[in-house]
Structure 1
Amino acid sequence: MNEPTDDAFGWSTRAPVQLLLLFFVVLAGVVLFPPVMIFGPLGFAFVFAALVFGAVRWQRWSERLFGTGLPIPGWFVAAILSSLGLFALLAYTERYTTEATPFVFLVAFCLPWVVSLTVGGRLRRLANTRVRLSIWLAIVLSALVLTGGFVFGWSVPTPYEMAVFAGFVVIAFIVVVVFPLTIVQMRGREESDHTLDDDDAPLVSVLVPAYNESNYVGDCLDSILASDYPTDRLEVIVIDDGSTDGTYAEASAYRNDRVSVFHRSNGGKHAALNLGLSCSRGDVVVAVDADSILAPSALRTAVEQLQSDPRLGAVAGTVVVNNADGIVGSVQALEYVLGINTLRRAFSYLGTVMVIPGCLGVFRREALSEVGGYDPDTVTEDFDLTVRLLKAGWRVELSEALVYTEAPFSLTDLLNQRLRWTRGNIQTLLKHRDVFSEPAYGFLHRFAFPLSALSILFVPFASIVVTTMIFVAILNGAFLGVALVAAYFLFVLLFVAAMALDLSDGDWRLLAYAPLHLVGYRQFLDVIVIRTALMLLRGTNKRWESVTRERQQSSEALAGSQRPSDD
């Protein structure tokens, strides 16, 4: 498998021009929409970006301003005072109408931080409760509600207007926040000159959990052993988690003084990884899925980055889909480029990458020991572990270390994979819901976790509403208008996808599948989220959804006599 050319750092020099062109493409929407519909969300995004970059630049000031929460009774009092003030302001400016009332109450609920700061924090002494509401989230929500009031003239919008407004908020966030964070992150990595001295290289333990991975685990081990990392500083531990096929036999063929192979009764991926962790000796622990293939430089690249900053608890590999064939494979390949790797780069600048993928995660042993390894509480143990590392104060960043993975090649397998992902993501959000109200968690509280919650929980439901309203508009005879709006948003999406592909040095043919991320695939994912949420509410769907891989279609399981007994 050929490793793509490393042109990511060169992208950071081209990106400002591309970003400027994208900005003008967005502004071209004034032909179809009122200017306030575009400039309002852009203004909100600039405020948000200023808060984020300001918090990075003036960290101490940011912690003093946003590092505390307001008790609920104090919040209630502040909301009353804020609402009275807003009603008076609108009445004085002769802009108050009955329809403005919902906006006033929304803003009043989100703006008590103003009162709190004005009175020097004395409102905190009004309550004897430990439950506090986030001042940071109040600021962001207040800015968003004020933007909506400004855009809609302080009147209640129609669902269609709300849908268009939400679309522009997403676009503005990508243009003003995500891509600028990505550019800064790439330039920061480019300027890093830390290189690994082979004589001082840390011992690396690579853990490969495997369950029914015949025809895959061998290729995975070949790629690990072909790494350019110093061979005398590398150990590989394969943990067969009760496989019923030829996984153990295939892995055992590699057993030597560098490769250990264990077999255990099936207990889940978290248990297999914890067993491997207990048997490993390295100061750096690497987790690699048995169906993944590492680029030759992946281990060295990731370990160099980990060693460059003692605050780093882990780095995530850059995942590349290696079977971008057909519609199902190609649309997922574009999803990884557009919606996963690009967003992770933005999070990486803040040290809050939310998910260390199972394909390739590189950890400092000290960090893993501090959080107690992998937990069985969720079916997305990688997401849960990452959040626990971030809550413990460790930074988590994206690495340029490439790892190749095979995406599901059928809709049934894709459905099973996403059902498990969605269920685990919701479980993890619920498990760590204290992040929403705890300012001490820094950018995890202020940026990464709320955005993850929005993308996982709110966006799918909003998308379903938007899709419904579009069909209603078409039935009401507004087909031409809907088509023009859809064409505009598609053009913006194509430009964003082109920037993401340029960043990742991806296959430009994937642009042909961008429309499916607007209509088709997007709704498929939305239905999965809603279905999973309903299953969790009913307490059903406890099973682990299995995914059949392409090379396993034609393979037969080895005879039972070839299966090992439990160690």
Structure 2
Amino acid sequence: MNREPLVSVIVAVYNQERFIGRCLRSLLHQTLSSEKYEIIVIDDASTDRTSYALELFHDAIRPVANARNLGLAASVNRGIDVARGSYIVRVDSDDYVNANFLHMLSIFLEMNGYVDAVACDYLLVDDGENVIERVDCSERPIACGIMFRKEQLIDIGLYDESFRCHEDRDLRIRFDKKYRVYRLELPLYRYRRHDSNITNNAEAMRQHEANLIRKHGLDLAASNGMS
């Protein structure tokens, strides 16, 4: 009998042929039993060899292909819509995770029914996977490495698809009004810093920062700053 997975991992990818394999290999080698999680990969109409890279993992993932580029927020929402797990966690396509990532986050939620969501600390790494620093996720939160209860994401309306960046900050502002993200003091996520990070597009970041302020006001937007 096929059981529904406990965890759905959402990976939205656009033109990451170089790093997507590393990301998926780290997710496939988890200490959490394989039948307890699924990996949903949304290819946002990549124009490089990402689709070929995904073919190598076809039997191990649930692929979703966008016919046209929809943006990160819409792609993640598509993944959540088809997710079968009770818990949802995002992993960026150029990042990777510790082997205990899914087990530790899911058991934290399983054993603490009062916990709405849990985030782990992360290691900031360069393209060579050299560790730059360990980061406290409560001081410098990022979009990924946070395991949510699916029904609560649905309750707050998922990601606002009008945001092409800062979609994570908008979600956290809305989430924090009703729920709480707890911290797990273990660096289980690997956040890659390199020249192609979307957050390095300064003009786009400024435009969406202005959108965030218009939607939530200056104080909330400022208090929810993310790297």
TM-score range, shorter chain: 0.7 to 0.9
Which protein has greater RCO, CA pairs closer than 8 Å, 6+ apart?
2
2:220 paired with 1:433? no
Where do 1:498-537 residues align within 5 Å? Answer: none
**Contact 1:207/1:285 (CA < 8 Å) preserved in 2?**
yes
> Tell me, what secondary structure is at the counterpart of 1:274?
helix
Q: What is the SS of the residue equivalent to 1:312? A: coil
* Mapping 1:216-235, distance limit 5 Å: 216-235=19-38
Question: In 2, Cα distance between the equivalents of 1:267 and 1:343?
Answer: 28
1:285 aligns with 2:88: yes
Q: CA deviation at 1:228?
A: 0.5
Q: Quote the Cα distance in structure 1 between the aligned partners of 2:199 and 2:7.
A: 35
Calculate percent identity across the aligned residue pairs: 28
Q: Report the secondary structure of 2:116's partner residue.
A: strand
Number of aligned positions between the proteins: 220
Partner of 2:64: 262
Question: CA separation in 1, counterparts of 2:117 and 2:63?
Answer: 25
The 2-side partners of 1:429 and 1:300 are apart by 36
Equivalent positions of 1:386-405 (< 5 A) are 386-391=172-177, 393-399=178-184, 400-405=186-191
User: In structure 2, what is the Cα distance between the partners aligned to 1:450 and 1:244?
Assistant: 33
Q: CA RMSD in A?
A: 3.1
Tell me, which stretches of 5 or more residues in structure 2 are unaligned?
Answer: none
In the TM superposition, residue 308 of structure 1 has moved relative to its aligned partner by 3.5
Instruction: State the Cα distance separating 1:243 from its structure 2 match.
Output: 0.2
8 Å CA contact 2:212–2:221 kept in 1: the answer is no
For residues 97-136 of structure 1, what are the structure 2 equivalents within 5 Å? none
Partner of 1:452: 223
Aligned residue runs from structure 1 range 15-34, under 5 A: none
Q: Give 1:406 shift.
A: 2.0
CA separation in 2, counterparts of 1:291 and 1:450? Answer: 26
For 1:481-521, what per-residue CA distance to the aligned partner results, in whole angstroms no more than 9, with x for missing partners? Answer: xxxxxxxxxxxxxxxxxxxxxxxxxxxxxxxxxxxxxxxxx
Give 3-state SS (helix, strand or coil) of 1:307's partner: helix
- Trace 1:67-466 onto structure 2 (pairs within 5 A): 203-256=6-59, 258-264=60-66, 265-323=68-126, 333-334=132-133, 337=134, 341-342=135-136, 344=138, 355=141, 357-378=142-163, 379-391=165-177, 393-399=178-184, 400-409=186-195, 416-433=200-217, 449=220, 452=223
Letter paired with 1:433:
G
Q: Read off the aligned partner of 2:149 and give its amino acid letter.
A: R
Aligned mates of 2:199, 2:23 — CA distance in 1: 25
Does the CA-based 8 Å contact 2:122-2:137 persist in structure 1? no
Letter matched to residue 52 of structure 2? A
CA shift in 2, pair 1:451/1:211, >3 Å: closer
Structure 1 Cα separation of the partners of residues 145 and 83 of structure 2: 17
Partner SS for 1:236: strand
Whether contact under 8 Å (1:252, 1:261) holds in the other structure is no
- Is the contact between residue 241 and residue 266 of structure 1 (CA under 8 Å) also seen in structure 2? yes
Cα shift at 1:450: 7.9
| Secondary structure in structure 2 of the residue aligned to 1:254 | coil
Looking at structure 1, the residues matched to 150 and 25 of structure 2 have their Cα atoms a distance apart, in angstroms, of 24
Supply the distance in 1 between the matched residues of 2:70 and 2:199 (Cα, whole angstroms).
23
Amino acid in the other structure paired with 2:152: A
Classify 1:297/1:420 alpha carbon distance in 2 versus 1 (closer, same or farther; 3 Å). Answer: farther
Task: Give, in angstroms, the shift of residue 415 of structure 1.
Answer: 7.8
Question: Per the alignment, do residues 419 and 306 of structure 1 end up closer, same or farther by CA in structure 2, a change over 3 Å counting?
Answer: farther
For 2:114 and 2:207, locate their aligned partners in 1 and report how far apart those are by CA, in whole Å.
31
Question: TM-score, length-normalised on structure 1?
Answer: 0.35
Assess, with a 3 A threshold, how the Cα gap between structure 1 residues 425 and 302 changes in structure 2: closer, same or farther.
farther
Answer with 1 or 2: which has the greater Rg: 1
Post-superposition offset of 1:416? 3.0
1:292 and 1:359 in contact (8 A); partners too: no
Contact 2:32 2:100 in 1 (8 A): yes
- The SS at the match of 2:31 is coil
Contact 1:322 1:405 (C-alpha < 8 Å) held by counterparts? yes
Shift of the 418–308 alpha-carbon distance from structure 1 to 2, 3 Å rule, reads farther
Query: Contact 1:299/1:401 (CA < 8 Å) preserved in 2?
Result: no
Structure 2 distance, partners of 1:425, 1:343, is: 21
- Structure 2: distance between partners of 1:376 and 1:422: 17
For residues 309-344 of structure 1, the C-alpha deviation after alignment (integer angstroms, 9 at most, x for no partner) is 33433222322122188xxx98xx45xx4xxx3471
